[in-house]
Structure 1
Amino acid sequence: MSIVDDSVVSTQQKVEEDAEATMVINYTQNSEEKETVVDVIFNDQKSSELANDEFRDNSKIPNLSYLQIFILFLDFGIHAWGGPVAQIALFKDRFVEKAEWITISRFNRVFGVYQILPGPEATEFAMYFGQLAGGRFGGLLGGLGFILPGFLLILLFSYIYEIVGFENDYFNASFRALQPIVAAFVLRAVHKIAEHSFISNRTNKFNYWLFGMAILSSILTALNLNMLITMGVCGIAFMFIDRKLYLIGILVFLLEFVGFGLYIGFNHGIPSPNSLGIGIAKQDELDSGHVFGLGLLTGSISFGGAYTTIPFLKAEAVVIGGWMTPATFLDAIAIGNILPAPLVMFSCFIGFQAGLKADGGGTGWGFLYAFLITVGVFTPCFLFTIIGHPYLEKLCRNKFMAAFFDGIVGSVVGLIAPTAFDLLRSSIITTGAISVVDENQRNLIALQRGAIAAVLYILTLGALYSIKHKMLAILLIISGAIAGQFLFIDR
C-alpha cells in the first residue's frame, strides 16, 4: 500500500497524482486477485477517508508506565464477562470508538489476523494494545493482567468443585442442568465460526471448497481420524485449490484417503477414539511435563478460537488420559463460560483434575498442574503477538499462507461439529448420579431427566438464536443453575 504525504505540491502535480491514483484504484477494484490496494490522502480530503486508511492509526495512543498498563488490563480482565464476543466488543468500545487509539479499519485488520492465527483473540487484543502503549513488555503485562482474574477465579472454582463434589445433591443438580445448556453453546459456536470460516481470504466470498472440507472433516472425525492430520491436509489442499490447481489439491485428499484405507486394512478396522488425540495425556505417566505439553499443543492448534480446543482436550483428558468423566468435562466448560475469563481458561480446571488423579496427587498437585497447563495454553499466543504483529500480518497476507490458514479454519468447523453432538449425548444420557438401588426405577428416573435435559437444550438454542445480549451466556448459566434445584432434586 502506498500513501501520499500531506506535503505541499504544485497544482499540476496534484492533478497528475490524483489521476494516477484513480487509475490504480480502479484497476485494483476490477482485479480478480486484489493483491494491491492504494489509498491516496490529500490534506483537503474529508476526515472519513482517513478513517478508512487501515494502515494509519489516530495517533492518540498514550505512553503508559508498565504499572499503568498492568492495572488497565487487569480492570479489563475483571469486567471480561460474556465470552470472547463480548470481550472483543469491550476492547473495541473503549480503545477504538472512545479513546481512538486506532481506527476502526485498523481494528478490523488486526481482528482478521487473530481470527486466522491460533489463540484466544481477546487475550491477543490485550497484548496488542499493551504493546501500542508500552512496547513488547507492555504487551506481556497487558496479556497477564487480562487473564489473571479469570485464572484465579477458575482455580477457586476448581477447588470448590473438589471439596463439594457430586456427593452433594444440590451441587450435582445445578451442574446436571448446566450440561445441556453448555452443549447448546458449543453447537451455536459451530454456526458462528462457520459464518467466517467459509469465506475465502482472497475473494472475501463464500467458498464451496471450504464448506466441503468442513463436511469431510466431520466424517473423518466421526471415523476417529486424528484431528491434526485432518487440519494439515485441508490446509495444504486448499493452498493449491485456491490457486485453481484443483488436480493437485484433490490428489492431496486422495493420498489422505489411501493412507487411511491402508491404516484400516493393516489394523483390521476403524481407529479407536484414542486416535483423535496424540496421547500426551498419559494415564500411567501423569506428570508435570505431560500436563504442560498438553497445554502447549492445545494453545498451538486453537485456530478459530477456544472452541477448537474442546474436541482435542476431550480426546486427551477424557478418552485417552481418563482424567475426568464426560460429565465433568462439560462442567469445566460451564465454569469457563460463567467467569470473566477467556473460554480456553477451562483448561485450568482440567489441569486441576489431572493433579488430583496423579499418583500421590492431591489438592496441592491440582494447583500446580492447573498453573502448568494454563502457562502451556497461553504461551503460543503470547509468543505470536509479542514477536510482532506486523510480521504476523505479512504472513497472513501471503497468498499461499493465507490459503493454508483458510483451509485449516474451514476444517475446524467439521472438527467441532461431531464433538458438539457428542457433548449433547453426554448431557442427556447420564445415570451415574442417580442413587437408586432398583434398576427399573433408576432407568425411569434417567429417562425423565434425559427428557428434561433435552428440553433445556432446545430452549437454550432458541434463546441463543433469538436474543442478542452480551450477557446472555451468563444469564443462561445462572438460570440453569437455579432451575436445576427444581428439576433434578429428588423431593
Structure 2
Amino acid sequence: MSTLTARISDQDVQGFTPAADQEGLPTHLQSPQTEDYKDNSRIPQLSILQIFWLFFSKFGLFAWGGSVAQISLLKERLVIKEQWISMARFNRVFAVYQILPGPEAAELCMFFGCLAGGRWGGLAAGVGFVLPGFLLMLAASYIYVVVGFGNVYFDASFRALQPMVAAMILRATHKISEHALFSHETKKLSVWLVAFALVTALNSALRINWFISIGVCGLINMAIARRYWPVAGLLFVLQYVGYALYVVYRGVPSPLSLALGIARTPDLPHLFLLGLVAGSLSFGGAYTAIPFIQAEAVVLGGWLPQQTFIDCIAIGNILPAPVVIFATFVGFQGGYIHGGLGYAFAGATVITLGMFFPCFAFTIIGHHVLEKLVHNKFLGAFFDGLCGSIIGVIAIIAVQILGESVGSTGRVTPTTVDGALVVASHDAIAAVLYLLALSALYKFTHKYTSIVLVLCGALAGQFLFV
C-alpha cells in the first residue's frame, strides 16, 4: 500500500484480516494469492435509483465521524456482511484511492456504484453519499448568514470553537506527516520528503507561491528516484535564482503572491475554479485543501474574513460528509457577498461541484487505468515529492490559524483600558481551550472525538464569552 498521503491504518479501520488469520474464512475473503480481482459475481445489479437510495440512506445519512468512520461503514456493510468483493480486493482498491486527490470514502462509494450499475451507477452512488452533508451545510451556511452576524450567543460559540479548530488542524498535520513523509518505494521515513516539507515552509516565509514549491519538489523527487543528482541539484538552485532575480527587479513578494488569483471575485466561474483547484490538490483529505482556499478567498480575494473561514471548518467537522464539504460554506459566503442570498446558493453549489469533480472524474475513468497510473514508478516519485511539500504548506497554515485563534479573538475591539483587559482575558481563555482540545485529540482517537469537541466548544462558549 502506498504511503503518499495520510493513510488510515489497519488499527484505525478495524476488520482487515491478516493472512495468518484467514484459515476457515470463506474463499471469497481469503488472501490476494487466491483472489480473482475481476470476479463480480457477488455484486447485485441495481438500477440507478436503487444505487442512489442505497448510498444516500445507508451511508450518506450516517457518514458521521470523518473518513475513518465512513470507510469502516462501507467495509462492514458491503465487504464483510454482503460480500460484494473480497477483503483483499477492497484493500487493493483502497490503496489506489489513497494516492488520488479527493475524499477516499466518496471515491469508494463511486467504485461500488460502478460495479453495481456502470459509470452512471458510480455517479449516482457518489451523489447519494455527498448529498446529505451538502444539504446540511447549505442550511448551516444560511443560518450563519441570517443569524450569525451580530448575534452575541452565536458569536460566543464560534469564538470558543476557533482555537479548537486550530488544534484540529495541527493534529491533522501531524497525522498526515506520519505517512506522507514515507517513501513510496522503501516504505520508510524519507529524509528527502522531510526536506521538501521544510523547504516549502521556508519558501512560504519567503512568499514563494505554493504551487511553484510543490511542483519543484515533485520534479526534484522524480530526478532523485532516477539518480539524476545534477538535475535535482539544478532544479533546487534554480528556484532560488529565480526568486533572487524577482527580488532584484520587483522587490520582495507580498503575501498575495502565495495565491494564484483565481478567485479575486466570488462570481460563479471563479468559485467553480477555486473548488476545482483545491479539489485537485486535496491529497490526504480536507486539510490539504485548506491552505489553497484560504490563500485565494481570505488572503488575496479578501472577501472571506479569516474568522469566518475558521468557523466553516468547525461546521465541516460535525456534519455527516467528507470534511471538504466546508467548501460549500465558502461558496455560500462568496456568493452572498457578490450577489445576495439567491446567488449564495448558486455559489455554494458550483464550488462543491468543483471540489468533488476530480474525485468523480478519476473514479469513473476506471479502476484498472488508475492502478497503472499510480503504480508507475516515475509518477509515484512525483506524487511523493508533492505530498511531502504539502506537509510544509499545511504546517504554515496551522501556525497562522493558531495565531488568529489564540493570539487575538478578532471579535473584540480594545477601545478602552477595560476593553483591552477583556481582549487579554479572552485570548487567555482561547489558549486554554486550544491546549485542552489538542490534549484531547492526542489522548482520544475515537472517530467521534472531533464531533464531541465541537459540540462541547459551542456549549462552553455560552459560559465563557457571553
TM-score after normalising by structure 1: 0.86
Q: Are the counterparts in 2 of residues 166 and 433 from structure 1 also a CA contact under 8 Å?
A: no
Q: Superposed, which structure 2 residues align to 1:68-467 within 5 Å? A: 68-75=50-57, 76-269=59-252, 271-283=253-265, 286-358=266-338, 361-430=339-408, 432-434=410-412, 438-467=415-444
**Where does residue 479 of structure 1 map in the other structure?**
456
- Whole-angstrom distance in 2 between the partners of 1:278 and 1:149: 32
Q: Are the counterparts in 2 of residues 73 and 146 from structure 1 also a CA contact under 8 Å?
A: yes
1:285-320 deviation per Cα after TM superposition (whole angstroms, max 9, x unaligned): x42211111111111122222111101000111111
**Matched residues, number:** 441
3-state SS, counterpart of residue 73 of structure 1: helix
1:175-234 deviation per Cα after TM superposition (whole angstroms, max 9, x unaligned): 001101111111111111111111222222221111111111111122221111111111
Pair member with larger Rg: 1
- Whole-angstrom distance in 2 between the partners of 1:55 and 1:326: 51
Q: Are the counterparts in 2 of residues 239 and 404 from structure 1 also a CA contact under 8 Å?
A: yes
Q: Are the counterparts in 1 of residues 307 and 410 from structure 2 also a CA contact under 8 Å?
A: no
Q: Are the counterparts in 1 of residues 30 and 88 from structure 2 also a CA contact under 8 Å?
A: no
- Whole-angstrom distance in 1 between the partners of 2:184 and 2:93: 14
- Whole-angstrom distance in 2 between the partners of 1:95 and 1:105: 13
Q: Are the counterparts in 2 of residues 429 and 446 from structure 1 also a CA contact under 8 Å?
A: no
- Whole-angstrom distance in 2 between the partners of 1:71 and 1:301: 30
Q: Are the counterparts in 2 of residues 296 and 373 from structure 1 also a CA contact under 8 Å?
A: yes
1:222-259 deviation per Cα after TM superposition (whole angstroms, max 9, x unaligned): 22211111111111111121233333222211111211
Q: Aligned-pair distance for 1:431?
A: 5.1
- Whole-angstrom distance in 1 between the partners of 2:91 and 2:145: 42
1:55-77 deviation per Cα after TM superposition (whole angstroms, max 9, x unaligned): 62584222222111101110211
- Measured at CA, do residues 288 and 335 of structure 1 come closer, stay the same or move farther in structure 2, by a change above 3 Å? same
3-state SS, counterpart of residue 118 of structure 1: coil
Letter in structure 1 aligned against 2:440 = A
Q: Are the counterparts in 2 of residues 337 and 474 from structure 1 also a CA contact under 8 Å?
A: yes
- Whole-angstrom distance in 1 between the partners of 2:357 and 2:302: 25
- Whole-angstrom distance in 1 between the partners of 2:371 and 2:223: 21
Task: Give the RMSD, CA atoms, in angstroms.
Answer: 2.0
- Whole-angstrom distance in 2 between the partners of 1:435 and 1:220: 33
- Whole-angstrom distance in 2 between the partners of 1:462 and 1:240: 40
Q: Aligned-pair distance for 1:414?
A: 0.8
Q: Aligned-pair distance for 1:49?
A: 9.2
TM-score after normalising by structure 2: 0.90
- Whole-angstrom distance in 1 between the partners of 2:192 and 2:88: 28
**Where does residue 20 of structure 2 map in the other structure?**
none
1:390-429 deviation per Cα after TM superposition (whole angstroms, max 9, x unaligned): 1111001111011111111111111100000111111113
Letter in structure 1 aligned against 2:436 = L
Q: Are the counterparts in 2 of residues 123 and 143 from structure 1 also a CA contact under 8 Å?
A: yes
Q: Are the counterparts in 1 of residues 413 and 420 from structure 2 also a CA contact under 8 Å?
A: no
- Whole-angstrom distance in 1 between the partners of 2:29 and 2:346: 52
Letter in structure 1 aligned against 2:417 = N
- Whole-angstrom distance in 1 between the partners of 2:431 and 2:346: 37
3-state SS, counterpart of residue 338 of structure 1: coil
Q: Aligned-pair distance for 1:275?
A: 1.2
Letter in structure 2 aligned against 1:60 = R
3-state SS, counterpart of residue 167 of structure 2: helix
